[in-house]
Amino acid sequence: MNELSGELAYAPTHEWARLDDDGRVVVGISDYAQEQLGDVVYIELPELDQDVSAAEESAVVESVKAASDIYAPVSGTVVALNDALADAPELVNEDPYGRGWFFAIEPSDPSQLEDLLDASAYSEHCESAAQDDADGEDA
């Protein structure tokens, strides 16, 4: 099974969210998501100061396999971007919960974090997705 971090909240669409002490919510994609995508080659981040809404497209990850929309896990304003991803998109594969973060949001309604999944619920969610995949394979 893929690596999970117990301190994070997860969206069913495979983004993670971490509430920092300063009240910002840092956003990235899960280890499961990066493994499914394969090597990441480009990332389109939102603009600084852009307003984003929970479950709305706010970034794009282009991997060797496909382009995928990234949804904001909570609503708010984008207050920080991980500029390192422009030259090193592989950080998303190598360190999805650390140096591979995407952007940070100043949340307009921090209680939206409670609508997300905890690590164990997200893990179950991924296992059922993997099971659906395996039904088409010969595992």
Partner 1 sequence: MALRRTPLHALHRSAGAVMIDFAGWSMPLRYGSQIEEHHAVRADAGMFDVSHMTIIDMLDAHAGNGHAQALLRQLIANDVARLDAPGKALYGTLLNERGGIVDDVIAFRLPDRFRMVANAATRERVLSWCARWAADFTVAVEERPDLAMVAIQGPAAVKRFVAATGHSGAAALKRFQALTAGTWMIARTGYTGEDGLEVLAPYDDAAALWQRLAEGGVRPIGFGARDTLRLEAGLNLYGHDMDETTSPLESNLGWTVAWAPKERAFIGRDALEAQRGAKPAAQLTGLALTQRGVMRRGMRVATAAGDGVITSGVFAPSLGCSVALARVPRDAAGEAQVTVRGEPKPARLLRPPFWRDGARTFE
Q: Per rule CB under 8 A, is residue 56 in the interface with partner 1?
A: no
Is 42 in a helix, a strand, or coil? strand
19, 50, 62, 113: residue in contact with partner 1 (rule CB under 8 A):
62
Q: How far is the CB of 40 from partner 1 (least distance, A)?
A: 10
DSSP state of 56: S
- Taking Cα atoms as reference points, which of 61, 80, 84, 85 lies closest to residue 20? 80
Say how far apart CA 81 and CA 105 lie, in whole Å.
Answer: 9
User: 109 forms bridges with which residues in the sheet?
Assistant: none
| Start-end of H helices in 38-118 | 91-94
Binding span for partner 1 by CB under 8 A among 8-16, 40-48, 101-109, 111-119: 40-48
12, 13, 41, 53: residue in contact with partner 1 (rule CB under 8 A):
41
Binding span for partner 1 by CB under 8 A among 5-13, 41-49, 73-81, 122-130: 41-49
Residues in the site for partner 1, rule: CB under 8 A?
38-39, 41-42, 44, 60, 62, 64-67, 90, 93, 136-138
